[in-house]
Chains A and B, each alone.
Chain A
Amino acid sequence: MFIFIYLVKNMLYFELKKIFTNRRILICMVVLLIGVHLFSGYQSLQQEWTASEYKQLHERLDQLPTQDRMAFLKESFDKSEYHLRVNDTQADVSYYTDTYGLAWMEAIQKQKNEVFFSRQVLKQVEKEEQNRIGYDRFRKGIKKQYALNHKVSIFQKKEDPFVGQRAVKTMDAYETLNITMPASIKGSYGIEQLLSQSYLDIALLLFLVFLFYEYVVREEEHQQLSYMQLTKHGRLAYYMIKIVALWFTCSFFIFLTSFTLWIQESLLYGFVDLSACIQSIPFCMRITKAYSIL
């Protein structure tokens, strides 16, 4: 593939020039880019908590030793819960009395104007923190499951022979994985959002359809394709280089949208270390390869 690209690099240069000097393609790219950003911004507004609240919470967590973070989150959660019940004389507050004492409750009663972290943002950050400290536990759980299934499979082969095999395969997949979780996973929500959104795929699909129409169908309509067929490289090599140019342009579009969205999300939720392992992001925890986020 790369040898082919090297041999026809001059052709590829002109094919890319065709695409990147085509006003309609550039306009489409910009429109989709703006659309993706507006949609992403709209989604952020739809959340029950604000990005500044999330960032503020992370800033507070960063000042604490790692072992105290979960306790802080739990206390913040309780503060928030208790604050909601301050004026409710019927509410059962025995849990707060037992856990934190009357002084703590009085202090919260006095902080009527203070803004407490919302439960939703606390849950989100707690999930991230649990992911960081719970990763080793997760790996140990796999080992345990493997051992358990292995044991069971000796006696219950006939019942489900696949359970044992699956456990072995899972174990094998994780066995060689040697990664270290970063101490802080500050702001991973932005990346999480970026990686989980389907509107990026939709934007890419729309772009690909438009690009194909502009770059291939219109050339056919204007008889440019048949004109090129009369040249030395105008047949197989030409079509192959067109596919490479399409792939390259789509990759560029993905990079451009992802990069600008990453900037946007990072500005909202804080910059995350892209060299950290991909498992730092909660929903990527189960990935069995040692990839970085980047």
Chain B
Amino acid sequence: MKLEVRNCGKQYGEQWALQDVNFTLTHGIYALLGPNGSGKSTLMNILCTLLEKTTGTLLWEDKEISTCENAYLQQLGYMPQTPCMYEDFTLFNFLSYMGVMRGMPKSFLHQRIEEVTKKVELTDALDKKIRAYSGGMKQRAMLCAALLHDPKILILDEPTAELDPLKRILVQKLLMEVSKDKMILIATHVVSDVEFIADQFLILKKGVLIEQGSRLALVKLLDGKVKEVKTTMEEYQSFKQQYAISSIRYEHEQLIARVLDLDDTLEGEVVTANINDVYLHLFGEKYAVL
């Protein structure tokens, strides 16, 4: 199972939305990180064959996707950021419809509907109209639709954006569970949602893949450069102009700021970096939380 992206680029007029992107996906979870406008959606649309690339090649099992598009699409499960279900359908109707559109046999389809809705805890809402669903329920329903035909490739755009903490954990656990025999690409800017479940991170900035690697490899970039500094609110106000601060908290009435000290000029306790720090380092520059 291998999906290869080689020198992939997309140009809109004079503007390059994506430039010379290279990576290979095998099984496991991949997190695609980047701020708005970094080219995440463009890349996902190209991977889903919804958008024509300007340059490069896409290979599925070493074959150009355009030559085996039907076979590739049969293996693809896609969950767009915005739920695009039919509001007047019940979830059962919608999933049955998706099954029919995917050419699934009826008996297998009913069995799969039962399985996937159970996994995302929507079994009780199967006969409820989608119009009456909350944002989080709609997202879980879309995840059901993506998983319905048991695809090998899962492309998920912000799958946890509208979920409450419990349901986020549920979805994270589910993705971990199914990732054993699938490749899952998750685009998000909620770094904490993917930090501990993703095997690899792909970081896009202005259409260019600036970093890729495992969590450990990425946090190594900031080895010894993340410090927790005890400060006061008055000091913090001037402090935040000079340093990138990823978080602040109060401990025993003492303000503690988590700072990226790239030049090693600050006194403070060195702590282990996380993906949030890496993200801030790559995109935030001297951005402060307050």
Contact = CB atoms under 8 A, between A and B. Distances in A.
B101 A231 contact: yes
A227 B88 contact: no
Interface in B98-114: 98, 100-103
Contacts of B73: 230-232
B84 A18 contact: no
A230 B103 contact: no
Contact of A233 (B48, B76, B80, B103): B103
Given A14-B97, A21-B89, A230-B78, A223 B102 contact: no
A232 B86 contact: no
Given A21-B89, A230-B50, A10 B100 contact: yes
Interface string A199-239: 00000000000000000000000111011111111100010
Given A17-B89, A21-B89, A233 B84 contact: no
B84 A230 contact: no
**A23, A226, A230, A233 — which one has the most chain B CB atoms within 10 A of its CB?**
A230
Nearest to B142: A227
Contacts of B66: none
A234 B73 CA distance: 10
B41 to A, nearest CB: 11
Give the one of B82, B84, B98, B102 with max A CB within 10 A: B84
Interface residues of B, number: 22
A21 B88 contact: yes
A233 B98 CA distance: 10
B100 to A, nearest CB: 5
B49 interface: yes
B38 interface: no
Contacts of B214: none
A22 interface: yes
B84 A11 contact: no
A120 to B, nearest CB: 49
A234 B101 contact: yes
Given A227-B78, A230-B48, A230-B76, A222 B84 contact: yes
Interface string B60-98: 000000000010011010101010101011000100111
Contacts of A226: 50
B84 A227 contact: yes
Contact of B74 (A18, A21, A227, A232): A232
Nearest to A12: B100
Most buried by B among A14, A23, A224, A228: A14
Nearest to B70: A232
A10 B93 CA distance: 12
A83 to B, nearest CB: 62
A219 to B, nearest CB: 8
B88 A23 contact: yes
B94 to A, nearest CB: 9
B42 to A, nearest CB: 14
A45 to B, nearest CB: 39
A129 B100 CA distance: 57
A73 to B, nearest CB: 56
Nearest to A222: B84
A10 B78 CA distance: 23
Contact of A223 (B80, B93, B101, B103): B80
B90 to A, nearest CB: 10
A226 B50 CA distance: 7
Nearest to A26: B88
A18 B102 contact: no
A17 B86 CA distance: 10
Given A222-B84, A223-B80, A231-B101, 13 more contacts: A10-B100, A14-B96, A18-B86, A21-B89, A223-B82, A224-B84, A229-B50, A230-B73, A231-B103, A232-B70, A232-B102, A232-B103, A238-B101
- Nearest 4 pairs of A and B residues by beta carbon: A21-B88, A231-B101, A232-B103, A14-B97
24 contacts: A11-B100, A11-B101, A14-B93, A14-B100, A17-B89, A18-B86, A18-B88, A21-B86, A22-B88, A222-B82, A223-B82, A224-B86, A226-B50, A227-B78, A228-B101, A230-B49, A230-B76, A231-B98, A231-B103, A232-B74, A232-B103, A233-B101, A233-B103, A234-B101
Interface of A: 10-11, 14, 17-18, 21-23, 222-224, 226-234, 238
